[in-house]
Chain A
Amino acid sequence: MKHGFFHASMLVLIALLGGCTITESSSWVSQPLSPEQGQPRAYLVGAVGPDELMPATAQNQRLLFRQRGSEQGAAAIWIDNGIRQTPKDIQKGRASASVFVMPLKPGEYELYDFQFFSISSTGYGTYSSSLQAREKFVVPMRLEAGKAYYIGEYRSRCLTSSACLFIQRDRMARDESIARARVTHLPDLQYLPLQLERAKPFILPERAETQTQTKDRSSQ
């Protein structure tokens, strides 16, 4: 009887754990950059997650933004570690991505870095690893009040375990409805072309334009 009770308890626990994935927001904005109720705001919209081809296996992938000249930041986040996950708004095969809608105080911002975090377990222990740009980049953007800017989808690929990048594509038609379902009063989206040649080789537009700038920016 006691043995049967133990098994039942374990089954309930497993069922609870299996069904209880925690869904988190796909964007994070530091408090000083978050507009308060009634204050003017701009929205930054896009999508982030692993690509279908050679997807990055890191369970936590982020694009990092900051206010120009400031330490205050914001992040677009994709997480799927079995317990915590961001909404899988776009799913095709094993690949998924989360649409982010980031309310920000109007002003000047920069896309400057990315992060990949992963935890893996082997027979010998559990290891965590992280990857980000050793030398950051400066991709400027100016956000005006009452406007919503779409900056594309950013899908991660890994050529090797330590050489990962994001492929950027324009999928505004697809992502607008998802973003609007999340924020009903979202202003009309407008595409914001970014100077992504400055983020090479970490972010590559799908139709990459040739640039002759030389850079020495390796990742660690």
Chain B
Amino acid sequence: MKSLFPLVLIAVLISGCATSHSLPSTELRYGDAYLPPIHVLTDDPLKGGEIRNSLRATGMFSDVISGQPPADGYAVRVNVAQERDLPPFPVILLSAATLFLLPISDSMDSRLGFTLMKGGQTLKRYDYENKTQRYTWLLDRKEEATEENLRRITRAFAQDVQRDGLMPAVEAKP
């Protein structure tokens, strides 16, 4: 039992401290107003809700809506490519044999392309990549790393759109 304790401690330390993202976090600065509502369509319907929620959480857009925009509205088409890289199957089996106390590497490479459009005309395309490298084990909170992986991309997009000034700000607060 005593010999198991250092192993568990190492597992906790490795899985808790070793998450790294290739895309740095973005500090957003807000004006008095929000950017106009955007209608967001993705080429991966399963990821659509997750991406829209992440865009809503940036606090930059006055609304993030699913579906086609009205004629004078802003549309954002999102191309999603995500790859997950796990170790070879025997290593996963070895971890399973230890009831997942043995951490295994788990990386996720997300590439998102945002095409900003208005009235059917493309205003600009923004491309981002974030590679998240981490270790996963039994008591791991994988969702946090997955959310952060996407959060860094959507916040970078929000900052770039704001900086480019392609969308005039609108008063959205009561």
**Known contacts A135-B52, A215-B67, then 11 further A-B pairs from the complex at CB < 8 Å, ordered by chain A residue:** A66-B57, A70-B59, A71-B57, A112-B56, A136-B53, A138-B64, A141-B173, A195-B172, A213-B65, A215-B65, A216-B66
Per the bound structure, the CA–CA distance linking A141 and B172 in Å amounts to 9
* Size of interface on A: residues with Cβ below 8 Å to B: 26
Q: Is B34 an interface residue (CB 8 A)?
A: yes
Shortest CB-to-CB span from A171 to chain B, Å, is: 18
* Binary CB contact string for chain B from 27 to 42 against chain A (1 if under 8 A, 0 otherwise): 0101000100000000
Shortest CB-to-CB span from A2 to chain B, Å, is: 40
Chain B stretch 48-94: residues in CB contact (< 8 A) with chain A = 49, 52-53, 56-67
Interchain CB contact under 8 A, A142 and B173 = yes
Total A-B residue contacts, Cβ distance less than 8 Å: 56
Q: Is B174 an interface residue (CB 8 A)?
A: yes
B174 touches which one: A70, A134, A138, A192 (CB < 8 A)? A192
Interface residues of B (CB under 8 A from A): 28, 30, 34, 49, 52-53, 56-67, 172-174
Q: Is A53 an interface residue (CB 8 A)?
A: no
Q: Is A140 an interface residue (CB 8 A)?
A: yes
Chain A stretch 25-73: residues in CB contact (< 8 A) with chain B = 66, 68-71
Q: Which A residues are in CB contact (< 8 Å) with B172?
A: 140, 195
Per the bound structure, the CA–CA distance linking A66 and B53 in Å amounts to 13
19 contacts between A and B (CB under 8 A): A68-B30, A69-B57, A69-B58, A69-B60, A70-B59, A108-B30, A108-B173, A134-B49, A135-B52, A136-B53, A136-B57, A137-B63, A138-B62, A140-B34, A140-B173, A193-B174, A195-B174, A213-B65, A216-B67
Per the bound structure, the CA–CA distance linking A214 and B63 in Å amounts to 12
Known: A110-B59, A141-B174. A69 touches B28 (CB 8 A): yes
Interchain CB contact under 8 A, A214 and B67 = yes
* Binary CB contact string for chain A from 209 to 220 against chain B (1 if under 8 A, 0 otherwise): 000011111000
Interchain CB contact under 8 A, B30 and A194 = no
Interchain CB contact under 8 A, A142 and B174 = yes
With CB as the reference atom, state the residue of chain A lying closest to B158: A69
What are the 9 A-B residue pairs with the smallest beta carbon separation, nearest first? A69-B59, A68-B59, A216-B66, A142-B173, A140-B173, A135-B49, A136-B53, A138-B56, A136-B56
